[in-house]
Structure 1
């Protein structure tokens, strides 16, 4: 429902159901002994509690990956505005909200990098490890989940700001320079004349920086995701 890539509206529901079923069967092989003991005397209340608990835990781990990708989309939108490439909003590749062409392109590339690095395997492995931290016979602590979610959210946006820091510096330097020149030549609309040059320089910086940006984004995912 919330995992980046698989939760996209462009993925058919049948594919998502089959993927969820495959993951459930794989996970069941590891938790079957504990589950058999717990369900020795099953009741409707116990089954409902187990279903609710698994939904909460699964949604929590999906949101961790979702927030990490949202942090990148946030900083890419800022990069687009800083280099003058905000432009008209268009359709998003992964979600329903409108995005600029630059944000859609970079976020889709980042999602492709995450899948190439098998981030879904890390999500499943972390989900398996959650049964040791949050046993099935207890409902997960909402306080613990919220604290971990906030920690991951904070670290995700720190990573995003680190990735976008060159463009923030670029925007500050360029805007100060253009503003100073505009003050020296008030009769000439320097701001409008400088737009093509600012856009060209910004795209050039982005051209050389985007491989390192995507590389750092993919390498930082395990450290941020395993904070929980």
Structure 2
């Protein structure tokens, strides 16, 4: 029997604000192909599941003090959004690396509709980003995010409110780690594109009458595709291995 219905509803709504802010932004759940009602039901179900576990961290803070509930709603939503942004930055980093790789290997066909979003994207970039997200789901990355939300009630309690300085440090550290990981993933293609174009430029200087760039383009794409065939398994494995440290660092 619930002795305090009003306090229980307020605690549930406070949990929903933090979890809903995360689900609203985190990769996969926030895709344009996922209906808004599905995202809402997922956030409500997660809030009802996490409330009994974190009852001692949520209920006393919501009912024990005279809060301004508008401020409470805003701060809890921002905290959840920051947790979701850490994961989203990591997935967007793979999309950025895929775009850089397609440019370096000269594969630039007209963009088509993205698999996840409503924007136009290169086919190779769309395949790489979708495959990386699928691997994260296979490895239950959403469990890591939900655990981070549960732990955030001890790191950033409700009574503390919005810590803008700490959240900005979290986001910048996550961006820094993501950039280094994605640079490591795209480094073979960066070296390949640089060496190939330097070599073709030197050949063009030796024989300026020959349209060497038009002749070399198929070889650039063929070599880049072969390099992608050899290294995509290791690239995606490194991408999956780097998600945990980024979330823990965030």
* Aligned-pair CA distance for 1:22: 1.3
Deviations, residues 43-91 of structure 1 (Å, cap 9, x unaligned): 6x53323322220111001100110111111111010011011221222
SS at match of 2:68: helix
The answer to whether structure 1 residue 77 and structure 2 residue 99 are counterparts is: yes
Show the 5 A alignment for 1:1-228. 1-40=24-63, 45-228=67-250
* Aligned-pair CA distance for 1:191: 0.7
Q: TM-score, normalised by structure 2?
A: 0.87
Task: Sort the Cα spacing of 1:212 and 1:42 in 2 relative to 1 into closer, same or farther, 3 A.
Answer: same
Distance across 2 between alignment mates of 1:123 and 1:41: 28
The alignment's C-alpha RMSD in Å is 1.4
Distance across 2 between alignment mates of 1:31 and 1:220: 28
Deviations, residues 18-48 of structure 1 (Å, cap 9, x unaligned): 11111111221122223332344676x5332
Runs of 4+ in 1 over 6 A off after TM superposition: none
Provide structure 1 residue ranges, at least 5 long, that are not aligned to the other structure.
none
Larger relative contact order (CA 8 Å, sep ≥ 6): 1
The answer (yes or no) to whether the contact 1:4–1:94 under 8 Å persists in 2 is no
Aligned length: 227
Q: TM-score, normalised by structure 1?
A: 0.95
SS at match of 2:51: helix
Provide structure 2 residue ranges, at least 5 long, that are not aligned to the other structure.
1-23
SS at match of 1:33: helix
